[in-house]
Structure 1
Amino acid sequence: FVVGKADKIIAVSKTNAKYLENNFKFDLEKLEIITNGFDVKKILTLDISKKEKLIVFNTKWISVKNPDITALAFRKLAKKYPKWRFLFTGRGESIVQTFDNHPKNFEVIERFLSQEELFDLLSKSSIYVNSSHNEGLSLGIVEATGLGNIPVLSDAPGNIEVATKLLTKRFVFERNNYSSLITSIEKAIRACENKKIRQTRIHIANRSRKYFANTKTFRKYRSFLSRYRLIKSFKGAKSSKLSYSYT
């Protein structure tokens, strides 16, 4: 109802736009895509040259994020790769809460990390895992890759969109496929052990910063607001009768 009645509709990714088109009735001319972005200036202050053998999963533990498949994969791989640390963070409900014993290098932090804690962690980690059943455009992924992490992503449409931009589709795995996830994480581990890993990290980080910087997002929002007279200029704002739905 809200989408259909809106004068203008903003989607945060092509995947998000396609979802809206397929699930709501509205004039497609109302739809505009303004890709989500992250604060590049903030991460540029962090040192990503001293990476550790650390793999991170960080999200809400809810069904759409599919945390259980990653918990099971981490438990298995931690035994196989004792020199690597597998960090599982977040809150909610997950099978990880039922694990009585797991390897010492499989660490669980049952709380949400502050942004400062997370960025510090991602500046040191080597691999970031997202196992979601569905994603629009995950800021967590683009922040992690902007900090030089290899992204191991499910084949949710939004994740494919990001991986295509980053040229990392070789690390994508089939959603809810345990064996496929194991294979992709191991592929990422091997990539980290390659002598060219430094160039790989720089390449991923630079592409993430290029395509997903929030400065570009802000410019597009200002242009959008200016076009529809929601602001007098890029610096000032004024009220308007125009309403819009953001999703």
Structure 2
Amino acid sequence: MKKLFSLAAASIAALSLGTANAALLDLTKHAVGPGSDTNANGINERNGVPQNNTLNPFEIRIGQVIVTIEGFPGATNADENSQPGPHCQPGGMFACDSDGLGIGNDEVSTKGNQMVKVSFSVPVIVTELFYLDLFSDPNVSTPTLAQTESAIAELFTGTTSIGSWETFATTQRGTSRGFESELLGGVGGVTSIMFSPGAGADDSDGDFALAGITFRPEDGTLVPVPGALPLFLAGLGGLAAARRRRKA
């Protein structure tokens, strides 16, 4: 139930900070069509990942913030069709047009030493990170860390590392969509985040799909709030309250 409490804490924190100046970078959302979402400078205007993406890096505009996404050693993509889950709209937080962002497909993989860098045009406060396809080995009842996939996020101010957070899978493959989140509690001064797989694996490889990031600009620049976000967060708070009542 640790993840439930993490999600509930995220809901309380996000609601207490106020959603009017928060934003979701939704990396499960596809662009509408080739060229249809971009302006004259090639910047995506609808917070969507280009399908069959060959741009590396590519840019997304969220309000007045430009988010640049770069893959190593190749271009990022989000080509895997998603399956329904509680994180999906309606009522959920994400569009789920895809299973999240990876390198060449929807996976950031250990074998290829792959990484994804997300940069912001202004310093931001990062509140939460979201992943899909994080699993533990289904063939053992109590997986070790080596049998559990994880995603590592290192936050930077310029070239200076602020800190690193590793998010581990809490479900076995085949039992869920592998949806996980990491509540950061509001880390400020962030200009970029580098995502990479941890050392664990549930099969022959450790991998994950990057689903999204919630953030707000440090300078108070207004950014759009996804309509489902307050409802999604409030629902998580209700789940936590119900859990506490059952324990009592």
Q: What TM-score do you get using the length of structure 1 for normalisation?
A: 0.28
Name whichever structure is richer in strand by fraction.
Answer: 2
Q: What TM-score do you get using the length of structure 2 for normalisation?
A: 0.28
Larger radius of gyration: 1
Name whichever structure is richer in helix by fraction.
Answer: 1
